[in-house]
Amino acid sequence: MRSFLKGIVLLPIAIIVVLLAVANREPVRLSFDPFSSTAPEISLTLPLFAILFAAVMLGVVIGGIGAWLSQADNRRARRQSTRELNRLRAETERYRSYPAGSRQGTAAAPVLPALSSR
């Protein structure tokens, strides 16, 4: 069911992307020089769809990096929880390995030294 829904959503998007690429094949000049519009120092001449696809890919990468950075606290908490879980499992295994009568938790309460009387 999930793959069917994914196909229903992705198929129209793929058709739109192909139509966009076919309709925008003309080369355009992308200028990186804000001071000279007639003869820019740094410019590229590419098809418009290539520029649009590059912009979308750059946006996806920047969004992915932003999401990854914003989840740093969650990853840190998970690592700490995993370490504590492993420590508690090791401690549980250590207590299970004691013989039944000599477990530390079943021993009598420690006796306090007697106070000297005056």
What confidence tens digit (pLDDT) does each residue in 77-110 have? 999 999 999 999 999 999 888 876 565 555 555 5
pLDDT at 61 over 90: yes
pLDDT at 75 over 90: yes
Residue 62 Cα distances to 32, 67, 74, 75, angstroms: 20, 9, 20, 19
- Tell me the pTM: 0.59
| Cβ atoms of 56 and 48 closer than 8 Å | no
pLDDT at 3 over 90: no
Domains of the chain, residue spans: 14-32+40-98
Nearest CA-CA partner of 47 in 24, 70, 73: 24
Q: How does DSSP classify residue 108?
A: P
| Cβ atoms of 43 and 29 closer than 8 Å | yes
The pLDDT value recorded for residue 116 is: 57
